[in-house]
């Protein structure tokens, strides 16, 4: 779907058709819509193929006066274990007079700009508009990282009370999300550093300051994701050790119980084999002997901390 927006009287407003200085938002565009944009703006078809590829890594490319910037932006999906934080590519195509964004599915980042939630954005200032997109995308990374930290703390608290598979699966999902975030942020940082050189995208002084702010935010997000990932990895290792230790304790107790309850079987077996000269071959003696031996075995095992 194609939507057209332009800054009018200081606010982003939706317009009916494309015009110079507007922003064209492509959300899950069809083949016909892509063909129309390629024809109208003389864009390389590979630009759209790269922007629509879910596995595309962050990069910048320029061809025939048009520039493609692909970055990874955060996305939230639902799963059986809860919310899963992942990433998706955002393609930003800068033509001579317009900015075109391409995403494979709806994303709150695009909705923020389309709804006018981001103040001070001028669609006719292409480079600055692109930098605001990058800044807001990084801000959403930081926001999601804080949410992930809260969810992780809550799951850890539940795990302390009961070792359930559902909590462990949630921790695995969180770990996967942090790996996605860390990898995507590092790719975005490399792309931003290429933009900083000013060879592909022309930067004015204010653009330089804004780009530096974006880089600072990206570095902060990378550091946060790295810290959270290390903490989570340590936590999961600790819980794995606790689970293994609990299993060893259970196995030790079961082995001790098996040893104790085997005593009556051995004694009754001896008295049941018609062995001559056994002391006091009457019913109550082997029973009492079994109980005494079981009590002695229990005290010995208890002293050795086997029970």
Q: In degrees to the nearest 10, what's the CA dihedral of 32, 36, 37, 39?
A: 130
Q: pLDDT at position 144, please?
A: 93
- Residue 177 makes CB contacts below 8 A (sequence gap 6+) with 84, 85, 86, 148
Q: Taking the domains of the chain in order of start, what are their residue ranges?
A: 2-244, 247-303
Element housing 103 (H / E)? strand 99-103
Q: Tens of pLDDT along 241-261?
A: 777 777 788 888 888 888 888
Written as tens digits, the pLDDT of the chain (307 aa) is 888 888 888 888 888 888 888 899 999 888 898 898 888 888 888 888 988 888 888 899 888 888 999 999 999 887 766 678 899 999 999 988 889 999 998 889 888 888 877 787 888 888 889 999 999 999 999 999 999 988 888 888 877 776 666 777 888 888 888 999 999 999 999 999 988 887 778 888 888 888 999 999 999 999 999 999 888 888 878 777 777 777 788 888 888 888 888 888 887 776 666 666 666 656 667 777 788 888 888 888 777 776 6
CATH no. of 2-244: 3.30.460.20
CB atoms closer than 10 angstroms to residue 245? 10
Q: pLDDT at position 29, please?
A: 86
CB 110 within 8 A of CB 25: yes
Q: What are phi and psi of 305, to 5 degrees?
A: 60, 35
The pTM of the full predicted model, rounded to 2 decimals, is 0.79
């Amino acid at each position: 779907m194609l939507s057209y927006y332009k800054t009018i009287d200081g606010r982003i407003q939706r317009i009916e058709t494309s015009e110079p200085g507007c922003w064209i938002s492509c959300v899950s565009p069809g083949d016909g819509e892509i063909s129309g944009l390629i024809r109208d703006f003389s864009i390389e078809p590979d630009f759209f193929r790269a922007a629509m590829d879910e596995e595309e890594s962050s990069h910048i490319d320029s061809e025939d006066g048009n520039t493609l910037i692909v970055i990874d932006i955060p996305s939230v999906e639902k799963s059986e274990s809860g919310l899963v934080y992942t990433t998706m590519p955002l393609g930003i195509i800068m033509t001579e007079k317009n900015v075109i964004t391409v995403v494979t599915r709806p994303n709150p980042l695009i909705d923020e700009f389309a709804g006018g939630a981001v103040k001070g954005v001028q669609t006719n200032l292409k480079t600055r508009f692109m930098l605001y997109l990058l800044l807001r995308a990084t801000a959403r990374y930081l926001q999601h990282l804080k949410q992930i930290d809260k969810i992780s703390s809550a799951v850890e608290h539940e795990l302390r009370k009961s070792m359930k598979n559902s909590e462990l699966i949630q921790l695995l999902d969180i770990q996967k999300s942090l790996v996605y975030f860390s990898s995507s942020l590092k790719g975005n940082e490399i792309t931003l550093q290429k933009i900083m050189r000013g060879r592909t995208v022309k930067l004015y002084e204010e653009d330089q300051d804004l780009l530096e702010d974006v880089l600072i935010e990206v570095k902060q997000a990378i550091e946060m994701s790295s810290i959270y990932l290390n903490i989570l990895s340590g936590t999961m290792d600790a819980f794995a050790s606790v689970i293994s230790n609990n299993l060893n304790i259970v196995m030790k107790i079961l082995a001790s119980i098996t040893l104790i309850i085997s005593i009556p079987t051995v004694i009754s077996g001896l008295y049941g084999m018609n062995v001559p000269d056994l002391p006091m071959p009457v019913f109550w003696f082997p029973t009492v002997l079994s109980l005494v031996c079981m009590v002695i075995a229990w005290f010995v095992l208890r002293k050795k901390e086997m029970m």
